[in-house]
Amino acid sequence: MNAEPERKFGVVVVGVGRAGSVRIRDLRNPHASSAFLNLIGFVSRRELGNIDEVQQISLENALSSPEVEVAYICSESSSHEDYIRWFLNAGKHVLVEYPMTLSWEAAQDLWKLAEQKGKVLHEEHVELLMEEFAFLKKEVVGKDLLKGSLLFTAGPLEEERFGFPAFSGISRLTWLVSLFGELSLISATLEERKEDQHMKMTVCLETENKRPLTWIEEKGPGLKRNRHLSFHFKSGSLENMPNVGVNKNIFLKDQNIFVQKLLGQFSEKELAAEKKRILHCLWLAEEIQKYCYSKK
């Protein structure tokens, strides 16, 4: 990616919330990967005109324009599936913020569609590019897990827009799968007080070696965004995360990975392993959702 680009891929950003705004900023700044990309405009349901000299264009124009070769899908999760399908069918490459879809089956269909069209479909996972994850990966390598837990707290989130908690919290599940391999669902519960905007999801998982992992998502007014973890190994324990530094440019690092895929710099083996992990996490999220609903 250090070479001078022979061509630039025209990009449109769909959705200009937090993630979309960061994507636009990174595309406009001079970075190694941005040199391969040309920001054409953004798509939004709101009438915004221009943002920092970047023009708003209609969805129809974004889909039909031969200039647009890439779509960054940064809208709310409930709309991801439709946008991915529309842009792939229009012959565009797609980068989408996680979760790709709110259904395992839909994700499989979209991956088949991307393969049929010969296009890159990339699901962002900035949580795997964080300093905390790099620290954890080093800490757990070669160790024999006995049991573990991961608790995440945050303010309320609208399920209609962002999906069931196992989907909106899929970055935590991705951490666990990336650290300990594929997991099985043992049980799950969802406690809700809708009048207070409070919910708590408790999920009991098991590694392939039958080691228990507990994942808890708790959201409600006044709850600070925080992660608490506890991993017990035969050789000792890891309780909570030390301060391992600031996460810098994680969306830009994700863009670098996407551009490498556009340029064919990822092996088939690497792409297949990533796809397997993403589909496994989406499958687990759906199984958790089904389990919780079956108990209601």
185 alpha-carbon distance from chain centroid: 21
pTM of this structure:
0.94
Q: Give the pLDDT of residue 3.
A: 59
pLDDT single digits (tens) 33-73: 989 999 999 999 888 777 778 899 999 999 999 999 999 99
Distances (CA, A) of 159 to 20, 124, 166, 229: 20, 20, 10, 25
Pairwise CA distance, residues 257 & 241, whole Å: 26
Q: Give the pLDDT of residue 82.
A: 98
pLDDT single digits (tens) 129-175: 999 999 999 999 989 999 999 999 999 988 888 899 999 999 999 99
CB 231 within 8 A of CB 148: yes
User: What end-to-end distance do the CA atoms of the chain give, in Å?
Assistant: 51
The tokens 């960061």 sit on which residue?
22
Q: Give the pLDDT of residue 243.
A: 80
Residue 246 has pLDDT above 90, yes or no: no
Q: Give the pLDDT of residue 49.
A: 77
Encoded tokens for 103 = 């259904």
Which position among 124, 159, 217, 286 bears the catalytic label? 124
**Mean pLDDT for the stretch of residues 2-10:** 75
Pairwise CA distance, residues 230 & 241, whole Å: 9
Pairwise CA distance, residues 1 & 260, whole Å: 7
Residue 290 has pLDDT above 70, yes or no: yes
132 carries an active-site annotation: no
CB 281 within 8 A of CB 177: yes
Encoded tokens for 60 = 């129809």
98 carries an active-site annotation: yes
Which position among 33, 44, 77, 171 bears the catalytic label? 171
Which position among 69, 81, 127, 217 bears the catalytic label? 127
Pairwise CA distance, residues 148 & 139, whole Å: 13
Distances (CA, A) of 244 to 140, 225, 281: 16, 17, 26
Q: Give the pLDDT of residue 207.
A: 98
Residue 4 has pLDDT above 70, yes or no: no
293 carries an active-site annotation: no
Q: What is the total residue count of the chain?
A: 296
Encoded tokens for 166 = 């196992």
Which position among 23, 33, 75, 172 bears the catalytic label? 172
CB 151 within 8 A of CB 229: yes
Report the amino acid identity of residue 289. Answer: Q
Which position among 23, 75, 83, 98 bears the catalytic label? 98
